[in-house]
Structure 1
Amino acid sequence: MFGKLYLIPTTLGETEPLEVMPLSVKKVVEQIDYYIVENEKSARRFIKKISPKKSQPSLQIMLLDKYAEELETRKYLDVCKEGINVGLLSEAGVPAIADPGASIVKLAHQNNIQVVPLVGPSSILMAMMSSGMNGQNFAFNGYLPIDKGERKKAIKDLERLSKDKKQSQIFIETPYRNEKMFTDLKATLTPTTNLCIAADITLPTEFIKTMFIKDWKHQQPDLHKKPAIFIIQK
């Protein structure tokens, strides 16, 4: 019998794991020694935090970073054919959502390996839940262009799409560029478009607010270097 691929959520910051995820995650981590991760140091830190008694030397870590070769990563699930379970860990939040782990999940399906998703914090879904916007019809758009002109065009396109489809539009930005994004949103969107900003979700500094653009023009939340989700709806 093949081993399974467990999709293991991690915290969105320096939060105690069991404050934001169920005990079942801890139980799975305690049973698995093979892990596919983006960063070995942070993965080991999370595993130690959620399961302090687990033997660190017993861990077999396979890296899924920008330097990982595709031919190499395609072998990462070979141990499942020996009946060994493997855990896929995201750097933050849930694996395979805005995360390179999707390629491993696809590989598991191609090899008839059972995929088991575990419950944990997803900043995208938590932002959507708390935005007050259309949760029946929404789209995640990843990162918008870095070029200022292209970014403003993308913002207008998403606003138009939101109006035409009555669809909430979700996107993210590199934390150190959050404030530039906020400035462009205020300058580009129409005054009656709703904007939700959800930053530092699940952390003590959590900030979640939805307002019209005309009201955001008088606000300046501290978003610098904070993980943030942006959602617009016309």
Structure 2
Amino acid sequence: MIHFIGAGPGAVDLITVRGAKLLGEADVIIYAGSLVNPDVLSYKKEDCVVYDSAGMTMEDVIAVMVETEAKGQTTVRLHTGDPALFGAIREQMDELDKLELTYAVTPGVSAFSGAAAALQAEYTLPEVSQSVIITRMAGRTPVPEGEELRKMASHGCTMVLFLSTGLLEQVEQELMAGAYTSETPAAIVYKATWPEQKVFHCTVGTLAQTAKENNITKTALITIGGFLGSTYERSKLYDPTFTHGYREASK
């Protein structure tokens, strides 16, 4: 059996209970060493064989899976955060389908959730933003037509940018070509939930400057929007004047 598992955003204890259990049962672990906290491997059993996929191609990874399956053993493919977000798992699963090999996916805590925890913030605030756009700036890898950052930014809702820390000057321009201004609140979260986590509050117009001043070049999420401000409306769910299916409004 082959298991794709989300390792979580960084903290060792933010892997799911299921993910930790499966790690402990694996005969072979292939983990994204450039992104996954290696301390997560503390869950493995003593005789488990570990591969760091940072220097491997997809073909290399599949070959290890095929070899492990031929031995009747269990493989864990350990991805950072949640594998469904920028995890490149679809191409691996398609290859396994061709080979008629069985696999399962265990979700993980995404870094965008870890960033919100680090910020002690709520992405969806009444009368501020009820939507979150998770995307990235186009770089060496393009984005689909119609998903250019300025078009995504035109909605003015909460945004979380992955894989964009090295392109912040362009990010600023694209965001301000959308619905944001140079004064829109923003924050850079470096290595969310890791021991070395750092949070830098700034504005859209000072993203690049803030990253430069703090030597942040990678492994960070960029968050943008009014959710980082101080103004919002109280939720109706717990408002004593609001009636819903579980409670009558007080008079």
Common fold: TM-score over 0.5: yes
Residue 32 of structure 1, aligned match among 20, 26, 32: 26
Task: Report the residue type matching 1:171 in the other structure.
Answer: L
Superposed counterparts of 1:219-234, under 5 Å: 220=210, 222=214, 224-225=216-217, 227-233=219-225
Structure showing greater relative contact order (alpha-carbon pairs closer than 8 Å, 6 or more residues apart): 1
2:229 alignment partner in structure 1: none
Task: Report the residue type matching 1:68 in the other structure.
Answer: T
- Contact kept, 8 Å, 2:137 with 2:171, in 1: the verdict is no
Tell me the alpha carbon deviations over residues 143-176 of structure 1, each in whole angstroms, 9 at most, x when there is no partner.
4337xxxxxx94433321x24xxx543322455x
2:235 alignment partner in structure 1: none
* Structure 1 Cα separation of the partners of residues 132 and 94 of structure 2: 23
Superposed counterparts of 1:54-203, under 5 Å: 54-55=46-47, 58-59=48-49, 61=51, 64=53, 68=57, 70=59, 73-78=61-66, 79-80=68-69, 83-90=72-79, 92-108=80-96, 111=100, 113-118=102-107, 120-127=108-115, 130-133=121-124, 137-145=131-139, 154-160=148-154, 162-163=155-156, 167-173=157-163, 175=165, 177=166, 180=169, 184=173, 189-191=180-182, 193-203=184-194
Would the alpha carbon gap of residues 124 and 132 (structure 1) be closer, same or farther in structure 2, given more than 3 Å must change? closer
SS in 1 for 2:109: coil
- Contact kept, 8 Å, 1:35 with 1:59, in 2: the verdict is yes
- Contact kept, 8 Å, 1:30 with 1:54, in 2: the verdict is no
- Contact kept, 8 Å, 2:186 with 2:225, in 1: the verdict is yes
Shift of 1:68: 2.0
Task: Report the residue type matching 1:49 in the other structure.
Answer: S
Q: TM-score, normalised by structure 2?
A: 0.58
Asked which structure has the greater CA Rg, the reply is: 2
Q: Which runs of 5+ in 1 are unaligned?
A: 147-152
Shift of 1:103: 1.9
- Contact kept, 8 Å, 1:178 with 1:228, in 2: the verdict is no
SS in 1 for 2:85: coil
SS in 2 for 1:197: strand
Would the alpha carbon gap of residues 138 and 48 (structure 1) be closer, same or farther in structure 2, given more than 3 Å must change? closer
- Structure 1 vs Structure 2: percent identity of aligned residues? 13
Would the alpha carbon gap of residues 74 and 29 (structure 1) be closer, same or farther in structure 2, given more than 3 Å must change? closer
- Contact kept, 8 Å, 2:7 with 2:40, in 1: the verdict is no
Report the RMSD for the aligned CA atoms in angstroms.
Answer: 4.3
In the alignment of these two chains, the number of paired residues is 207
* Structure 2 Cα separation of the partners of residues 88 and 99 of structure 1: 11
Q: TM-score, normalised by structure 1?
A: 0.61
Would the alpha carbon gap of residues 224 and 180 (structure 1) be closer, same or farther in structure 2, given more than 3 Å must change? farther
Shift of 1:114: 3.8
Task: Report the residue type matching 1:122 in the other structure.
Answer: S
Q: Which runs of 5+ in 2 are unaligned?
A: 141-146, 227-251
- Contact kept, 8 Å, 2:31 with 2:53, in 1: the verdict is yes
Task: Please say which of residues 100-109 and 180-189 is displaced more in the overlay.
Answer: 180-189
